[in-house]
Structure formats: C-alpha cells, structure tokens
Amino acid sequence: MKNYTYVYLLGVGGIGMSALARWFNAQSIQVFGYDRTSSALTDRLTQEGITIHFEDDIKAIPPPIIDHKVHSLVVYTPAISSQNRLLNYLIAENYMVHKRAEVLGMITQNRPTLAIAGTHGKTITSALAAHTLHQAGKKIVAFLGGIATGYASNLLIKGPIDKDTVIIVEADEFDRSFLHLEPHWAIVTTIDPDHLDVYGDTRRYQEAFQSFVACVPPYGKAIMHRDVTQQLALEEDTTRIICYALKGTAIHAENVRIQQGNFYFDYVSHEARINDIQLAVPGYHHVENALAVITMCLILGLDAGAIRRGITTFKGVQRRFEYVIRTDQVIFLDDYAHHPVEITALLQTIRALYPTKEITIVFQPHLYTRTQALASEFAQSLDLADRVFLLDIYPARELPIKGVTSAYIFDQMTLEKKWMCTQENLVAVLNRQSQPEILVTAGAGNISDLIPAIKHSLLAR
C-alpha cells in the first residue's frame, strides 16, 4: 500500500471506519474525518487526536487534504449517500478514493490474515479470537465490528507490526466487501439470507460466501460451521475445510452446562481435548463460536492453558448481551440483534439463563428492505418473548418503501401482549405496564440512545 501522509475518512463514525481511523492514527498518519452527526464514538476519536467535522460542505474539507492531493487517501463507507457533496467533489478532483473494504484488502495484502465471516456471530467471534491471541502474547492487529469490552476499542494491536503479525478482520458480506480480502485462514459462522437489497435472492447471497471461501489458498484453512458447509455444498476435507458444530462433528462440545450465569463446556476434536472452559458470553451459539476460535488458536500454536485463559477472561463486546442493570429485582440487557435468527438466539439464551422470569423485548427493526423480506420470520422470533414493544423502522441508508412499516411485523405476531411505540413515547408506554422482570433492547439502529431513559425509569420504579 502506498505511503500516504494524510487520510480523510467519510463516515468516520461508523464502527468499521473508526477502526480504520485508529489504525492510520497508530501509524502516525494524520487522520481527518467526516460524519453526519456526532456520537460517543466520534467524541472518542477526537480525544485520540483525529480531527472530525460534521458539515457536508466542500469548504469544510481540511486544508491539508486540499493542499496535498497526491499525498492524501480518501476512504468512504457504502453508507455514505451517492449525493454526498464531499465524496462527489473528491472523486471529480481525481483524489485517490477507495471504499473501506478495498483499503482493508490493501492493508492485509501479503500479511497472514484471519478473516471471520457470517451473517451472525462474526463480531463476537472476531473479538474472542483477538482477545485470546492477545492474552497469549501473539503479535496481532484486529479490526473489529464492535467495541471490545475491556479494551474500549474496536482496534486491538499487540506487539510490533512485522511480517509475522496476524491480521484479524471481521469480514463483512454487505456490498460483497469481504471479497476484497485474501485471507490465509477463514472462519464462517452462519449463512442466513440478509442484505437482499444488494444480493437480490438467497442463491446470490450464498454464491458470495462460496467466493469468499474460495479466496482461502490451498495451504490455508477454512473453519466452517457444519450447516454452512451443507448450505454451500462443500465437503470437509480436513486439509483445507474443517467443520465444527455443537454436536455431530469431529470438532464439537461436550458437557455443556450453565452455572451462575456462565456457560461451561469441553472442547473435543481428534487432535485435542480441553476440559472445563468457562465462557462468560452466554449462549449455545457462542459456545459454537468458541469452538471455531479454539480450533484456529490450536492451528496458530497456542497450548490448552493459554486457550482456556483467553476464553475465560473474555468480557464480550458492547451491545452484545450487555447487562445494563443486573439486580434481584430487574434485569436490563442490550443487544445488537437485528435479524430473526439473532433475536431467536437472544431470547432462547435469556430463557435458558432465567427460565422462570418473564421476558420483555423492545425491538427496533433495521432497514425497510430487511423488514419487507423477513417480516414473518421477525414475527415468529418476537413471539418467543412474553411482551413486545415494537419501534418504528430505523432506515439507515435507505429511503422508505411504500407500505413497509413496523406494522408489517406487528400484524403477523400471534403474541397478545404487544405494543407499537415511537422512540418518543416508549418510556411512557412501558411505565403504564407492570415492572418487567427482564427487559432487553434489541436492534442495530439508534435504539441504544434510549438506554439512559429506560434505565432511569426501571430504577425509579
């Protein structure tokens, strides 16, 4: 990758873009950024020395970018509108402009890279792998899709960066971004139809994952959930494709149990057995994610003790089964779940941990296209709760689709205790009901902005 003096990131407040900003900042490159609105994340970036503006105005472009075109790299996220004045000006002026995914591909080129993909679970799996290798003293750089608890960052760096440093990348399938990577090793956790606004249908979605797996060289390893290999019609060959699952495969878990809110399990494969591993991030699906991580760590030469310590000390990722309140009177959780499969896993995990308690979920659908494509599946997953409060759709990058609202989901639910709410009246509607035993907020939009008000209301009651 060419050495640049200045980097300008459009959409710097996004979780993936902010990790790139931190990477370039750590390389002593002067970093500038633009985003539509400020956030806690942009505040942190500013504190770290990154200059950010919030005006879509050519006059707001930082002077070093204007004065040093040849030495400036411009990076943008697909979430940036095609009407964005900054982006269109910089393209018209022949700046070196690349998508985030292309830049990640440049950074990882010719470096030992572990790319972790999947419709669900890639953020937790990436963070778990990064933490375990970090704790074991391995030289790593990890670009994460969430803020790792205990590190307060989505970029983890351990040791000097050289030819032996392992790059860990959360490989995003949106916009086929992960096809810019050339990983030595890959993990694929799940494949469920998503981003159909990009792919059109399930077949093309699966074809993209097939292309991603094909990027792994013959001497590399693709560690894949058994269901994924079946969906992609791939056969385990142990030399390149390795299968795992909770049970029924060579790599599996035994003695899975819940004790004091933690999951415990034994890792079992033909090559190794590691007993009594504690996983503080609850859920049977996260046990499966841990199986993939352990397999990768064994390939990279970690011993059983280092692996057990890494898994046990992992504290999770913000907005992934994150406890906001945890008392005898009430439990308040926040989670990023925004797909029916994720909501089902979330609610089933809560039920396994607290089988006698009533579960209330506040859900904010994310994207009109996802709501339109998966409305009946959303309804079925939400019906697993005892009470549901459904917010308006968070549009993100999309324009409205006629007739597609939260009612599209609401009307297909069979649950009797359900309410449609706005962000403005949610707390008032919650207060008119009995105090929840367990309340969980879920969604990938701005639902987390409501957490302080909900927390205050629950504690006041």
> 281 near 316, Cβ under 8 Å?
yes
**259-275: b (≥16 Cβ within 10 Å) or e:** eeeebbbebbbeeeebe
| Backbone phi and psi for residue 446, each to the nearest 5 degrees, phi listed first | -105, 25
Instruction: Pull the structure tokens for residue 86.
Output: 């900054």
The superfamily in CATH containing domain 6-98 is NAD(P)-binding Rossmann-like Domain (3.40.50.720)
pLDDT per residue over 106-164, tens digit each? 999 989 999 999 999 999 999 999 999 999 999 999 999 999 998 999 999 999 999 99
Q: What pLDDT is stored for residue 1 in this prediction?
A: 58
Q: Which fold has domain 110-313?
A: UDP-N-acetylmuramoyl-L-alanine:D-glutamate ligase (3.40.1190)
Q: What pLDDT is stored for residue 237 in this prediction?
A: 75
pLDDT per residue over 223-251, tens digit each? 999 999 999 998 877 689 999 999 999 99
Instruction: State which amino acid sits at residue 171.
Output: A
Query: What single-letter DSSP state applies at residue 393?
Result: P
Instruction: Pull the structure tokens for residue 446.
Output: 């701005």
Q: Element (H or E) spanning 380, and its range?
A: helix 368-382
Instruction: Pull the structure tokens for residue 335.
Output: 């989670």
| Backbone phi and psi for residue 101, each to the nearest 5 degrees, phi listed first | -60, -40
The sign of the torsion formed by the CA atoms of 396, 196, 378, 281 equals: negative
Exposure on the CB side of residue 407, measured as CA atoms within 13 A: 4
The superfamily in CATH containing domain 322-460 is Mur ligase, C-terminal domain (3.90.190.20)
Above 90 in pLDDT, residue 84? yes
pLDDT above 90 coverage of the chain, percent: 90
Above 90 in pLDDT, residue 260? no
pLDDT per residue over 185-210, tens digit each? 999 999 988 887 889 898 999 999 99
Domain boundaries, the chain: 6-98, 110-313, 322-460
> 25 near 149, Cβ under 8 Å?
no
Spell out the residues 6+ positions from residue 412 whose beta carbon is closer than 8 angstroms to its own.
375, 376, 378, 379
**Mean per-residue pLDDT over the chain, rounded:** 94
Above 90 in pLDDT, residue 311? yes
| Backbone phi and psi for residue 90, each to the nearest 5 degrees, phi listed first | -65, -35
Q: What pLDDT is stored for residue 267 in this prediction?
A: 98
Task: Compute the radius of gyration of the chain from its Cα atoms.
Answer: 22
DSSP 151-206: TTEEEEEES--STTPEEEEE---GGGGGGG---SEEEE-------HHHHSSHHHHH
| Residue linked to tokens 């969906």 | 231
Helix axes 40-47, 15-26, angle to 10 degrees: 0
CB atoms within 10 A of CB 26: 14
Q: What pLDDT is stored for residue 130 in this prediction?
A: 98
Which candidate, 44, 299, 321, 285, places its Cα nearest to that of 155? 44
pTM of the complete model beyond 0.75? yes
Cα 407 to the center of its chain, rounded Å:
27
More confident residue, 197 or 255: 255
> 394 near 365, Cβ under 8 Å?
yes
pLDDT per residue over 368-417, tens digit each? 999 999 999 999 999 999 999 999 999 987 889 999 999 999 999 999 99
Burial label for 157, CB within 10 Å (0-12, 13-18, 19+), is middle
